[in-house]
Structure 1
Amino acid sequence: MPEQRVADPATTADDLLGAYRPGDSFFSSATLSLHGTGSLATVDSLDALPEALAAAGQAQSRVGAQAGQAPAPAVAMGAIPFDTARPAHLVVPETVRTAPPPTRSAERPHGWKALHGRWTITPVPAPAEHTAAVERALKVLAGSGDELRKVVLARSLRLESTEEVDVATVLANLVRRDPQAFGFGVNLPTRGDGVRSLIGASPELLVSKRGRRVASNPLAGSARRSADPTKDQRNAVALLTSAKDHKEHALVVEAVADALGPYCRSLTVPAEPELLRTATMWHLSTRVDGELEDPDTPAHLLAAALHPTPAVCGVPTRQAFDTIGAIESFDRGFYTGAVGYSDAAGDGEWVVTIRCADVAGHALDLFAGGGIMPESDPGAELAETSAKLRTLLLALGVDRAV
């Protein structure tokens, strides 16, 4: 069995992006960048990761011993779907290269490289139908008493190009435009011929784990960025002072703290959220930090305990999940799942799969959603999804209202 290998320390995130091809695995964060090629093992559940990583680690140790070198821990990279009853897609790459975190490109300060082809865009559902879905969700919330407190509804755009989608360029556009986000490009099971990829730039950390230290950074409550600095600041202040958005945010933070609590000897949960900004959105953000009781608790176990959070599903989880299934008109697949990596030492990072695209051949599906609370306005919820979709649309060279 081949070994996982680590690149020269001089390698940059741009180098890894330049080497990425559809079918590879890529992940970047504020701590590192990873690029995986080939496959030592593929598994369809987080439960199967320890065995796959152990086998790869043993093979690496044998090769390392023969070469007189200590190998780096084996790494698994991939994605789990929104519906936890469905198969995940997780790969232990044959070759893993590492680099420092991405930075904004000096050559292309705005991050964009043009794509070829013309796009046809089909909303799924149509905007008016999404507004009607929000109205339906509001009626369900009102009729549930306190049983259902929040439900997250999403919509999708189907884009088809006259040219095959240049997945590597779209991923590079996303990462270079928003280097502080979590960039990812991972292989998915195909629906026919060719390669299928999940790419994106998520602002939301589901969980990171290093030794005893664990962190999660839930986001809930959003507002659109503006090119006008004055309007942009007004949008930020309005979000930070919004009672509706604070209430929605508090539900998510409470759920994250409750999920991590049993694994931690201590947990720090700030009383008030802060503002987090991406290239297109403002978000209410709370970073939850903890110290694990058992430092051997793996990152993917913590990810499984947290997923899905109320940020992408609702409160309570089961009732919200059932409501989504009854109202949404498309299959989320890996959208609002989790994507990331874990190594054989149990360390890793997993992020919420938002600001993403499911790409195959000439077509890709984009997704965006928002948390529906009793105080929600259907028109405002539609506008929020439109703003969130801009992250991917701009990476594709599309700048139009959706």
Structure 2
Amino acid sequence: MSSPAPARPRPVHRAADLLAAYLPGSFYYSSARGVLLADGVHSHVRGTPGNRAAAAAEALEAAVLAGVANPVVVGAIGFRPDSGSSLIVPAVVRRAEIPGDGDLRLGESSPGVGDAAGSGGTSDGRSRAAADAVESDGNVGGRAEAAGNAAESGGNVGRRSQAGSEVGTGGRSRAGSVAESGGTAGGRAEAASAAAESRADAGGRTRLAARGGNQGQAIDGFRSGSGFEGADASLRNNQTSWTVVPRPAPEVYAESVRRAVDLISDGELRKVVLARALDLVGEQGVSVRKLLRNLVVADPAAHAFAVDVSAPGDPAPRTLVGASPELLVSRKGNVVTANPLAGSRRRTGDPAQDARAIAELRVSEKDLNEHALVAAQVAEVLGRFCTELDVPEEPEVIGTPTMWHLSTRIAGRVGPGGPSSLELAEALHPTPAVCGVPVDLARDTIARLEAEDRGYYAGLVGWTDLAGDGEWVVTIRCAEVSDRTARLFAGAGVVAGSDPAAELAETSAKFGTLLRALGAEGVA
């Protein structure tokens, strides 16, 4: 009687090692759930817009029949229905997960981080963003099972409610109530004048509670405990100078905002997001590896990504790389989470200035109404699929190294046989955070008023597996890199009362994430 074959040891990876192992052409994605690095192509995922989830499911089933263990679909989808898609089933997948059970369940609060927001350093929550080496399920050939089941991102949910039904005591709203309210009252949140509690979501990003707090949170120093301690934070692209071409010119963008405000005043358009681009041309090729590494080290709590989006006819390989703060949707088991962002202020690093910016953001009727439009639409779409849905009545403020955002974290449950993460993402895309209200009219307005095709900007990037689990984020704070050129994108939401100069300044602030990572601060 033969002895059973010895079990192959499960591969163990560190987040920093997977980041270091990234090469142009690979797919890289990191978030609170862990790090996924994919190489090679087992198969391409075909499919028409709105039907890519079905095509992905077919490709995953075919991969299983072909002997691929634990297959996943990874890639990006562009902004417009006719935009490109880079979805594939990769040949090899490695991952690093967060150790322990970081799940947050519906009805549980996020863990507190005390006074970390004002400590001049980082909170334990942010430090958890992408942890050290952990064991992941292996498969034939030493491949790691794709993309993780570590930390559930369902924080900031209180009492449960049935989707579409009223909530009892506890203050959570039904899915559609934000749309009916037309936005939160300007005086709901008190000015950020005193120290207050601070919370962190499962991903570790600091969330400032409704009564303000110490906003002197350090922008630097996010590396300790993040899992990326081995990465070199000082990497630069070694460019001695950049040629910068704004697309369009700032004054042309401001005029487009004015035209959009007029359209909103005259008709049924309620919101439109207008974007602009910066082309940075270096004296030598832009290093995607260094750019990605700088983005991850600067903010491990962000959803960092790098994906090959080369198309036939491109003179050189093209990579979409970025660090998005905005979770479009994740699914883990039956728990679904979305985190729409809308309403922003520049983060300066000066405690007094940041406190004023946050106080203004909390009571700005324009920003609160803009945010309400986005949260309402996301809640309405998820309400079609979820048997339970929790929607906070008021947004919170979250911080990235360069910006403050109004944020609503929405969590729900899907029933057995429910939609995959990609199906949910397709149903949500594009949200009013990157398009507008109503969607079709806003998208047509964008096509008329924007000078450049967005391509993959304001689309989605992420992964999904055979069980339907996965995570998709909005492709903002990103650039498309090809040879010596990096094209950066940034947008701002235009609503009634928008000021063209303020929207232009907002896009300039949002460019800061990529400019800093490129070592090009101050060039634009």
Whether TM exceeds 0.5 here: the answer is yes
Asked if the contact 1:111/1:174 (under 8 Å) is kept, the reply is no
Distance in structure 2 (CA, Å) of the matches to 1:326 and 1:44? 29
1:200, distance to aligned residue in structure 2 (A): 0.3
Report whether the alignment pairs 1:78 with 2:75.
yes
Task: Give the % identical residues.
Answer: 48
Structure 2 letter corresponding to 1:42: H
The one-letter code sitting in structure 2 at the alignment partner of 1:122 is V
Residue 102 of structure 1: which of 122, 126, 130 is its match?
130
Correspondence for 1:24: 26
Q: Which structure 1 residue ranges, 4+ long, deviate > 3 Å from structure 2?
A: 103-112
Aligned length: 385
Q: CA deviation at 1:258?
A: 0.9
In terms of mean alpha carbon deviation, does 298-307 or 46-55 score higher? 46-55
Distance in 2 of aligned mates of 1:6 and 1:77: 25
Matches within 5 A, 1:44-193: 44-45=46-47, 46=52, 47-60=54-67, 71=69, 73-100=70-97, 101-102=129-130, 104-106=222-224, 111-117=233-239, 118-144=241-267, 147-190=268-311, 191-193=313-315
Equivalence map 1:274-293=2 (5 Å): 274-293=396-415
Match of residue 15, structure 2, among 13, 16, 21: 13
Q: Is the 8 A contact 2:340 2:407 kept in 1?
A: yes
In the alignment, residue 249 of structure 2 is paired with which amino acid? A
For 1:216, the equivalent position in structure 2 comes to: 338
Stretches of structure 2 that go unaligned for 5 or more consecutive residues are 1-7, 98-128, 132-221
Stretch deviating more after TM superposition (316-325 or 290-299) = 290-299
Distance 1:295 1:268 in 2: 21
Q: Relative to structure 1, is the Cα distance of residues 352 and 7 closer, same or farther in structure 2, using a 3 angstrom cutoff?
A: farther
Aligned partner of 1:200 in structure 2 is 322
Letter in 2 for 1:90: L
TM-score (norm 2): 0.71
Which deviations, in whole Å up to 9, do the C-alpha atoms of 1:252-296 show, x marking residues without a partner?
011001111111111000000001110100000001100113344
CA distance in 2, matches of 1:151, 1:296: 31
Could you tell me how far 1:110 is from its partner in structure 2?
Answer: 9.3
Distance change in 2, residues 1:401/1:237 (3 Å): farther
Cα contact 1:153–1:372 (8 A) shared by 2: yes
Alpha-carbon displacement from aligned partner over 1:41-99 (angstroms, at most 9, x marks no partner): 112442421111111222336xxxxxxxxx4x211110000002333111211110001
Question: Relative to structure 2, which stretch is displaced further, 192-201 or 125-134?
Answer: 192-201
Q: Based on CA coordinates, which of the two structures has the bigger radius of gyration? A: 2
- C-alpha distance in 2 between matches for 1:381 and 1:332: 18
Taking a change above 3 Å as real, the CA distance of residues 148 and 105 of structure 1, as seen in their structure-2 partners, is: same
Q: What secondary structure sits across from 2:412 in the alignment?
A: strand
The two structures, once aligned, show a CA RMSD in angstroms of 1.8
Asked if the contact 2:83/2:456 (under 8 Å) is kept, the reply is: no
Aligned to 1:303: 425
Q: Distance in 1 between matches of 2:374 and 2:339?
A: 10
Does the residue aligned with 1:89 lie in a helix, a strand or coil? coil
Letter paired with 1:102? A
Q: Give the alignment partner of residue 269 of structure 1, picking from 391, 413, 417.
A: 391
Aligned partners of 1:297 and 1:247: how far apart in 2?
30
Name the CA distance, whole Å, in 2 between partners of 1:130 and 1:361.
27
- Check 1:60–1:109 CA distance in 2 against 1; reply closer, same or farther (3 A cut): closer
Distance 2:379 2:298 in 1: 31
Determine if contact 1:7/1:98 at 8 Å carries over to the other structure. no
Q: Which stretch of structure 1 is more off in the superposition, 297-306 or 38-47?
A: 38-47
1:370 maps to: 492
In structure 2, the residue matched to 1:64 is none
1:327 aligned onto 2:334: no
CA contact (8 A) 1:7 1:96 kept: no
Q: Does 1:397 align with 2:399?
A: no
What is residue 66 of structure 1 aligned with on the other side? Answer: none
In structure 2, give the amino acid aligned to 1:94: A
Cα distance, 1:331 vs. partner?
0.4
Checking the alignment, whether the CA contact within 8 Å between 1:214 and 1:290 is kept in structure 2 is yes
Q: Give the Cα separation in 2 of the matches to 1:325 and 1:168.
A: 32
Matched, 1:314 2:342: no
Which digits, 9 at most, give the CA deviation of each residue in 1:149-199, with x for residues without a partner?
A: 000000000111111110011001001101111000011033423321100
Aligned to 1:238: 360
Cα distance per residue 1:190-212 (max 9 Å; x no partner) = 34233211000000000000111
Tell me by how many angstroms 1:32 deviates: 1.0
**Mapped contact 1:110–1:177 kept (Cα < 8 A):** no
Alpha-carbon distance between aligned partners in 2 of 1:155 and 1:83, rounded to the nearest angstrom: 16
- Tell me the amino acid that sits aligned with residue 89 of structure 2: V
Aligned position for 2:502: 380
Q: Which amino acid aligns with 1:52?
A: A
| Counterparts of 2:231 and 2:416, CA distance in 1 | 43
- More off after superposition, 110-119 vs 256-265: 110-119
Is 16-25 or 104-113 further displaced after alignment?
A: 104-113
| Shift, 1:367, TM fit | 0.2
Structure with more helix by fraction? 1
Query: Is the CA contact (8 Å cut-off) linking 2:20 and 2:231 kept in structure 1?
Result: no
Q: Secondary structure of the residue that 1:395 maps to in structure 2?
A: helix
Cross-structure match for 2:462: 340
